[in-house]
Amino acid sequence: MAEDRGGTAILEVSHVTKRFGGLTALDDVTFRVEEGEIRGLIGPNGAGKSTMFKNIAGFYTPSSGDIRYRGQSIAGRKPHNIAELGVVRTFQETTLFQELCVFDNVLVGCHIRARSNLVAAILGLDRGRQRAARDKVDEVLEFMGLEDRRHQLASELPLGSQRALAIAIALACEPKLLLMDEPFAGMNAEETRHMMNLTRRVRESGISVVLVEHDMKAVMGLCGYLTVLNFGQLLAEGTPEEIRHDDRVIGAYLGGVR
């Protein structure tokens, strides 16, 4: 059973199972995320972490079980519907429009995700709404430290800025719960430090975060509590210190982690 640590739940995953044909990618997984935390969701390759995110964000429907966001069931709803409620994920794979500039990536990316009215506002004749939409994009670019790169093509950005842009796109959808899938992958030490600071800023702005990540320095440094999956099942939960010393987690994952 998921441990109740006394806070207000922003997300409750209850007995979620996801099958693909004969393969059970998620097997009766239960955990809850508190309002205002950065939760780590870790485990070996193929453990079901990205599949969990896709179920939460509405890209997949659970085979069974329920997912509640602020007390309301969201399992099986459409992704744009869930994004509008405030649950947005960043993608493990890069999904930037390489030939668009940074500013337009936020504008278009957010529209595609949340079907927000940003593009409609830009194309429309209402100058007040055009201004508001552009201001929103400027605000998230500044928040992520990308304001000086607003006219650069996404293809010209270094890795750290591409990842920051992916988060800016998600932030333009005004999430309350941000699901980040491996934002640190492939980063050098300095990029990692910078992304850790950005992630803390996101949380400080009032957004709860679930972080899927193999970089244990980032996970242990950012997260107050960790949920560990293994072969689609909940293996363990605890503080970074508890998880670091958990023999089951060491055996299944941390013993061989890069």
Pick one of 11, 27, 32, 49: the residue that binds ligand ATP (CB under 6 A).
49
Rounded Cα distance between 180 and 91, Å, is 7
Nearest residue to 182 via CA among 100, 90, 61: 90
177 touching ligand ATP, by CB under 6 A: no
55 touching ligand ATP, by CB under 6 A: no
Pick one of 14, 50, 208, 230: the residue that binds Mg ion (CB under 5 A).
50
* 170 touches 176 (CB < 8 A): no
Rounded Cα distance between 59 and 82, Å, is 10
Kindly state the smallest distance separating residue 27's Cβ from ligand ATP, in Å. Answer: 11
Window 87 to 116, contacts with ligand ATP (CB under 6 A): 92
Kindly state the smallest distance separating residue 45's Cβ from ligand ATP, in Å. Answer: 3
**Residue 46 touches which member of Mg ion, ligand ATP, none, C-beta under 5-8 Å by kind:** ligand ATP
Q: Which amino acid is at 168?
A: A
Interface map 18-47 toward ligand ATP (x if CB under 6 A):
--x--x-x-----------------x-xxx
Kindly list the residues in this chain that would bind ligand ATP in the complex (CB under 6 A): 20, 23, 25, 43, 45-51, 92
